[in-house]
């Protein structure tokens, strides 16, 4: 990971390395691997940057320990070692992922046989998780604005050839029915235009654009935009998919726009995807989170880095009894670690509200009327608090959880959902570790395409390439 921090965290490099040392110490302790005591320098000296001498020596001890015990390391610890797999000349079906985030869409597509050869994301704190969880060389990552990607001819020559699939979810603010301006002309939709320009330059065999439900209001206009940019080479299809219909315990509606320049019509691909609803097993919230360790509320404020059995850990070795849902998201595997399962601080009033509310109730419930802090604006804040019902699917997991989880109260424990619980609901496998700060874990998870839904979409595209 040190090479990622050197390249993409220049101003925060020292802070990132200090956290890296903390993480490695924790994992080496859990795996009972003693840290080497010699002051041997095993890393390239370019990685020293602005580190103090003692920090530089500590970092080298960590990596010397990893290198010399490579055969003993768990898959988790191995991921901290530099990535060497350059996928530019991959023989598999080649994928470009734009607006990639932490990589939920890519992970689902990889599972069916696509190989990311270029990953574009402007936020280094999101891309950090993508990089950690995949053995892909740092040269395959473009951590910058998609506008600069469009203008980078060296990137075009190296990565834009023979691409099978381009995916992305460009933010589009100007799509409401009330807005009479064309989407492509609205200045708020600049990234949407750059996504179209990327498709024109790459000319992939297929593409997928994911976006919010409101984009369905402009379906015909979107098709016109794509036809105007890409010409008559492609057929187009657009559909609204709800994750709960495909085995994901979450009421999450998103628009997917698919383009094909192969013999198969894009609309036929969508019909095949929709047919999956008939056979998908329907899971509930309790299926997703019931076998994770119980946590107590975190009542101590300003305790960054505090971890224990009560409030949880970033890394925890625990045997979780697998159920049908964990087997579903883990593809049958059973992992020895539980990642990112930790609590955030809540004050005593909120914890009391969490405890009193029955499942399925919101801020208007009489059980909390005497302590509800927003009585005068109940009509506005009716969902300020919401306790999830374990016998139903979850409400949509969103990036708002980075601010608070008051709308995502655990059905049986007086606290908000942990990042791992949110990730389970988004169908991330248990071995996917979210990097960066705790609040950013929620943002990454909320912005992602559910992994298992991405897998279904990819399955019905790749069969026309095989």
Active site residues: 172
C-alpha distances (whole Å) from 442 to each of 98, 119, 400 are 20, 21, 8
Q: What is the rounded distance in angstroms from the CA atom of residue 66 to the CA atom of residue 20?
A: 13
Query: Is 325 within 8 Å of 335 (Cβ atoms)?
Result: no
Question: Could you tell me if 98 and 204 are in contact, meaning their C-beta atoms sit under 8 angstroms apart?
Answer: no
Contact 128, 165 (CB under 8 A): no
Count CA atoms closer than 13 A to 218's CA, side-chain side: 23
* Beta strands at 253-260 and 235-242: parallel, antiparallel or unpaired: antiparallel
Task: Identify any residues that bridge with 118 across adjacent strands, giving them in sequence order.
Answer: 96
What's the length of the chain? 466
Q: Which runs of consecutive H residues, i.e. helices, occur in 31-89? A: 53-68, 75-78
237-244 long-range contacts (CB < 8 A, ≥24 apart) are 237/265, 237/266, 237/267, 237/268, 237/269, 237/270, 238/270, 239/270, 239/273, 239/274, 240/213, 240/216, 241/273, 241/453, 243/427, 243/450, 243/453, 244/282, 244/393
Q: How far apart are CA 141 and CA 5, in angstroms?
A: 13
Between CA 43 and CA 391 the distance in angstroms is 51
Rounded to the nearest 10 degrees, how much is the dihedral formed by the CA atoms of 392, 372, 439, 388? -10
Q: Among 297, 332, 339, which Cα is nearest to 318's?
A: 339
Q: Distance between CA atoms of 149 and 465, rounded to whole angstroms?
A: 26
Residue 86 and residue 136: Cα distance in Å, rounded?
6
Nearest to 420 by CA among 344, 332, 365, 350: 344
């Amino acid at each position: 990971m040190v090479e990622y921090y050197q390249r993409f965290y220049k101003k925060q490099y020292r802070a990132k390395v200090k956290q890296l040392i903390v993480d490695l110490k924790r994992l080496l302790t859990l795996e009972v691997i003693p840290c080497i005591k010699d002051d041997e320098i095993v890393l390239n000296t370019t990685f020293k940057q602005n580190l103090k001498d003692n920090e530089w020596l500590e970092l080298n001890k960590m990596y010397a320990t990893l290198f010399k015990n490579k055969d003993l390391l768990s898959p988790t610890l191995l991921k901290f070692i530099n990535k060497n797999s350059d996928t530019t000349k991959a023989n598999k079906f080649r994928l470009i992922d734009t607006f990639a985030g932490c990589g939920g869409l890519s992970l689902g597509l990889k599972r069916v046989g696509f190989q990311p050869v270029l990953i574009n994301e402007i936020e280094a704190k999101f891309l950090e998780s993508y990089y950690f969880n995949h053995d892909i060389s740092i040269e395959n990552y473009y951590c910058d604005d998609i506008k600069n990607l469009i203008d980078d001819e060296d990137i075009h020559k190296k990565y834009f050839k023979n691409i099978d699939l381009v995916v992305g979810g460009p933010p589009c603010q100007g799509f409401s029915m009330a807005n009479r301006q064309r989407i492509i002309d609205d200045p708020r939709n600049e990234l949407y235009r750059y996504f179209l320009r990327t498709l024109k330059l790459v000319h992939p065999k297929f593409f997928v654009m994911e976006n919010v439900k409101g984009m369905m209001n402009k379906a015909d206009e979107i098709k016109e935009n794509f036809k105007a940019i890409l010409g008559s080479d492609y057929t187009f299809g657009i559909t609204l998919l709800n994750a709960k219909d495909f085995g994901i315990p979450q009421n999450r509606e998103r628009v997917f726009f698919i383009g094909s320049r192969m013999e198969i019509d894009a609309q036929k691909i969508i019909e095949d995807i929709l047919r999956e609803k008939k056979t998908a097993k329907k899971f509930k919230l309790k299926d997703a989170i019931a076998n994770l360790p119980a946590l107590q509320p975190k009542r101590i404020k300003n305790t960054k880095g505090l971890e224990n059995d009560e409030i949880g850990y970033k890394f925890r070795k625990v045997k979780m009894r697998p159920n049908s849902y964990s087997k579903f998201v883990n593809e049958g595997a059973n992992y020895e670690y539980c990642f990112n399962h930790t609590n955030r601080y809540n004050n005593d009033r909120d914890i009391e509200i969490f405890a009193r509310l029955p499942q399925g109730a919101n801020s208007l419930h009489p059980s909390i009327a005497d302590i509800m802090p927003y009585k005068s604006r109940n009509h506005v804040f009716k969902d300020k608090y919401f306790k999830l019902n374990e016998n139903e699917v979850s409400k949509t997991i969103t990036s708002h959880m980075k601010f608070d989880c008051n709308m995502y109260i655990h059905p049986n424990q007086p606290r908000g959902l942990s990042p791992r619980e949110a990730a389970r609901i988004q169908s991330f496998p248990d071995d996917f570790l979210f990097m960066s700060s705790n609040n950013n874990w929620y943002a990454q998870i909320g912005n992602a395409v559910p992994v298992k839904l991405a897998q279904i979409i990819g399955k019905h595209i790749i069969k026309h390439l095989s």
